[in-house]
């Protein structure tokens, strides 16, 4: 998360976005502890607008990863963010399981830039049924996985080609798709327009643009915080 939180809220309000999942870019390219502190402060200030994700750098080892997840939970974070590709760390590694196990125990979201093979994400969905898995980016690779498990959701960012929104709905059904803006890297309107103008039902558009996340948010809010 970067820049002034009020600037982000103003941008969200422009497009009618009530709630946004956020993590720290500082944690991607620098100190994740500092970045997670910044996100937690914003979530505390605007609890109705932001869902905070604890960003992890798995290169730092299991002890530090576990400590940071516990810290994030205590600070009110509701999710975990992995971005192994940017950290030069394998997508399929036992420390990924450590993060997913923690999310399973505490009923958290887990957002990953790249989950790896369909077999890998299927194994994680089955092993950790109380965790809710988000793909970091749009993919057509996990259709069979979503048919087998109900705890995997596909992010729309980015829809780069003609009728990609329609294709995702065809593969997954609108119930399993979440709007992803990649804010602040990409403009909100750029990603939203491809859903608004897609040849899908108004009901499906509403699900993708907010109703699905609202339902998931209600579910995790039933899990007590420490």
CATH (domain of 158): 3.20.20.140
Query: Is residue 117, in this structure, part of any structural domain at all?
Result: yes
Q: What is the pLDDT of residue 85?
A: 80
Does 30 map to a domain?
A: yes
* Three-state DSSP class for residue 109: strand
Q: How many helices (H) and strands (E) are present in the chain, helices listed first? A: 12, 7
Task: Determine, yes or no, domain membership for 166.
Answer: yes
- Give the model confidence (pLDDT) of 172-219 as tens digits: 999 999 999 988 888 999 999 999 999 999 999 999 999 999 999 998
Interacting residues of 203 by C-beta distance below 8 A, sequence separation 6+: 174
Is residue 106 assigned to a domain?
A: yes
Q: Is residue 87 part of a domain?
A: yes
Whole-angstrom distance, CA of residue 191 vs CA of residue 138:
11
Q: Answer for the pair 19, 51: CB distance below 8 angstroms, yes or no.
A: yes
pLDDT at 86: 74
Alpha helix stretches (DSSP H) within 46-156: 62-74, 84-87, 94-106, 118-127, 143-148
The number of folded domains in the chain is 1
Residue 137 is encoded by which pair of tokens?
A: 């980016």
Show the CA angle centred on residue 130, arms to residues 220 and 22, nearest 5°: 45
Please check whether residue 109 lies inside any domain of the structure: yes
Residue 211 located in a structural domain: yes
In eight-state DSSP terms, residue 225 is: P
Residue 64 DSSP SS3: helix
The DSSP call for residue 222 is T
Residue 212 domain boundaries:
5-221
Q: Is the pTM of this model over 0.75?
A: yes
Which pLDDT belongs to residue 91?
Answer: 82
Structural domain contains residue 226: no
Confidence band of 2 (pLDDT split at 50, 70, 90): very low
Mean confidence (pLDDT) of the chain:
94
Burial of 184 per CB tally in 10 Å (0-12, 13-18, 19+): middle
226 or 145, which is more confident: 145
Both tokens of 135, joined, read 């793909």
Q: What is the pLDDT of residues 6-61, one digit of tens each?
A: 999 999 999 999 999 999 988 888 899 999 999 999 999 999 999 999 999 999 99
**Rounded Cα gap, residues 178 and 206, in angstroms:** 10
């Amino acid at each position: 998360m970067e820049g002034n939180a009020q600037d982000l809220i103003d941008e969200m309000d422009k497009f009618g976005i009530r709630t946004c999942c956020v993590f720290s870019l500082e944690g991607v390219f620098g100190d994740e502890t500092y970045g997670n502190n910044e996100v937690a402060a914003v979530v505390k200030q605007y609890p109705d607008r932001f869902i905070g994700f604890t960003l992890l750098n798995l290169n730092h080892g299991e002890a530090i990863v576990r400590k940071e997840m516990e810290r994030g939970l205590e600070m009110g974070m509701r999710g975990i963010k992995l971005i192994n590709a940017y950290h030069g760390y394998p997508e399929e590694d036992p420390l990924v399981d450590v993060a997913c196990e923690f999310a399973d125990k505490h009923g958290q979201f887990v957002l990953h830039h790249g989950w790896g093979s369909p077999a890998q994400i299927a194994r994680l969905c089955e092993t950790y049924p109380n965790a809710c898995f988000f793909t970091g980016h749009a993919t057509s690779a996990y259709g069979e996985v979503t048919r087998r498990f109900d705890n995997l959701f596909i992010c729309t960012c980015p829809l780069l080609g003609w009728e990609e929104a329609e294709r995702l709905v065809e593969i997954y059904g609108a119930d399993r798709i979440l709007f992803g803006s990649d804010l602040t890297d990409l403009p909100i309107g750029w990603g939203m327009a491809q859903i608004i103008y897609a040849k899908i039902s108004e009901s499906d558009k509403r699900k993708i643009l907010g109703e699905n996340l609202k339902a998931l948010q209600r579910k995790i809010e039933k899990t007590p915080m420490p």
